[in-house]
Chain A
Amino acid sequence: MRKPFAITLDPGSSLANHTGSWRTLRPVYVDRLPPCNHACPAGENIQGWLFRAESGEYEAAWRALSEDNPLPAVMGRVCYHPCESACNRAQLDAAVGINSVERFLGDEALRRGWKFAPPAAASGKRVLVVGAGPSGLSAAYHLARMGHAVSIHEAGPVAGGMMRFGIPKYRLPRDVLEAEVRRIVDLGVELKLNAKVDHILKTMRAGAFDAAFLAVGAHIGKRTSIPAGASARILDAVSVLRSMEGEEKPLLGRRVVVYGGGNTAIDMARTAKRLGATDAIIVYRRTREKMPAHDFEVEEALQEGVMIKWLSTIKQAGEGALVVEKMRLDETGFPQPTGELETLEADSLVLALGQDVDLSLLENVPGLEVDGGVVKVGPNMMTGHAGIFAGGDMVPSERTVTVAVGHGKKAARHIDAWLRGTAYEKPPAHALAKFEKLNTWYYSDAPKTLLPVLDAVRRQSTFDEVQGGLDESSAQFEARRCLSCGNCFECDNCYGMCPDNAVIKRGPGQRFEFNYDYCKGCGVCAAECPCGAIEMVPEEI
């Protein structure tokens, strides 16, 4: 072999030098659980669908979203968005407006007529769903997509449950609700209206159902014993809100007092204002901090001229007036009477003190247990009677639309497994993506986009929707405020900043992998990963 003067070796590449053996720490790609996903009662993969929305793939985003929740346009209006309370971005500037992006996607889907993918192969099993509220609709949707034949029996004349008969129009326009219900029915779900189930076992037998999901909700307004004169006009909020859906609007008078401190009380007072009441007054026995209603709704109600009497109870109801007693909070935060009385003029008193469940369809069901007015269910949402599952407001839980939708999904998974003779195993959850894991240097400064709000005058007199939606560019802007906590969004930092070219870029959507032959374990990739999706683990030496 001829070589130049004084040369004895052939030229070689440093690739022969496997510097990976220097490593004491090994970088590993991980997916962590974003706090929004963790907080979502409906179990949405929020970071996942925002990722699609960021690049303008709205249909893909909507499909990812509706994998878990078939009612995005509804949810984008009525959800109390615990995701936003958990959002890591709140520690930078303000939480990502997840709810408004969800609404945009939901509305976009309706506008463009996107349909759900048809169900998988038919399983041959029949499932009865009792109640067409959020929980029942959610369960029906998931069960249908799993290939089961689903029939919803709804006692009322229209579907929607509390979304229809509890939530006022100014928060949820009915055409939006109807369109999202229709899309579920279009999957092949049978919807029977005015079909009250009197006895669950009989109905199951008659329809040859293999399993049932009960989701009748809680529709009976709680009463309290208030000494009242014969002429006092006392109503309950659930009935009044329900009658808003009929032809005959309820007659409440000019001065309306609402008793209670939950979201229903707020809805009731705002509805009264819109019906023409000059005064809509909420009487609540504790303070604003203790009020169960969500603060932004209290705020909106106050803007519309609703008045709230804190630390007050109603002692007596008479014609045209109420006797109210002042309260004070004791050391434990519980209200105690002070004996101080005052008179409050009122044409009607509406009670919003919570709701009970109509359990009449469950009489004589072996094994089924009721506790405190609600049905007991196991971790798999099944009641004590095999094959009968329950969810939504009729089981012990927080009573919101989002929780109900989550119940529907969870129950559907367990019903599906039960019908197949197996048990549903929840995949292990990733570790939480905490703020401390992020490298926030890399995120652009971007304040939250505010939603347009209807002006106060129109809010006091009409049932037009109060909150507007985002247009496309603001929705995309808002989606792009997402930090993608704990999940790689392909920013190329690891690939670009490795001093040893030991990160392999696999191409769009394919993420990256480490080349451990050359990775020296310096940890720059993990330190500079914006979203905390790389972990350094000790190497076994």
Chain B
Amino acid sequence: MDLSWGLVGQLAWTGLATSTFYYLFAVAFALVLKVNRVWNFGQAGVMVVAYFAMYTALQLWSAPPLVAIVFGMTATIAVSLALEWFGFRVLRGRKSSVLTYFIFTIAISQFAIYLGELTFGADPKTLYPSIMSPVILVGPIAISHWDLRALAVTISLALALAAFLRFTKDGQFLSAVADNPELAEIYGIGLGRTYAISIVIAAILVAAGMYLVGTRLPMYPATPLNQFLVLAVVATILAGIGNVFAAGTAAIILGLIQTFSILVISSTWQILIVYALIFVTILLFPSGVVLKRSSRKIVRAGASASGAAAPIASPPAAKEGN
């Protein structure tokens, strides 16, 4: 393949635009891990719900896009809250082992995938009959309307989340609970409410991400588990557990690596890059490469809170109040 600056620029742009939904998924995953202290593999199931809720509204009911997005977001939030209230809360109350959380979240994702396949079929689907997007040329680089929309949505959501965490009381409560849930509770912060807020924020990010996916790529029901979630988990580990926005940045880097890999390997093998990166990350950067110091601090706090020696935070078994 002839390498030119135009080609490199195009790959960089396309990779960046495609990584927008990876960013949203990684931030959602990292936030729930940080605040709720759950490796939420159930996020893949939530992604499936978000996607097919919007698909139903758009393709089966012929609803306008805005109505479909609102419907998809509502369904995603409802399912996420159900997961928190009827799943995680019960397991926390029982002081269930990390093993139980893992099995529960993985089973939930698999359940959603099979339900999606049963209801909508196992073939790939897009949210609109056509996913072609008009293109403008900036020098040698083709920029589609989808690219611009995806970047605008992702940047807006990232800024809104940063502002929420920094300037609102609830946002600060999230950080307090993430640092030390027992102490936060002593100061009167309702753990149940805080966990619900974090899961709702994650649901919003996931729904937005799935809308971007569905307007860009055909999607199989199993894609969220096989690809998007795996990438989000790798990004979270790479960023250092507890660094929410760094997880997003790591996801963009992973997306770019995947895009640029087309220069050396065929598209059939591109996905293997992500799977190979899992081992590279675990072997070389088990505590992350970004903001190592703060991640260690959070890890230590998590371990001391739960009494676990593992380098990740275990689910806390504190009482929940509103």
Do A and B associate with each other? no
Using a CB–CB cutoff of 8 Å, the interface residues on chain B facing chain A are none
Using a CB–CB cutoff of 8 Å, the interface residues on chain A facing chain B are none
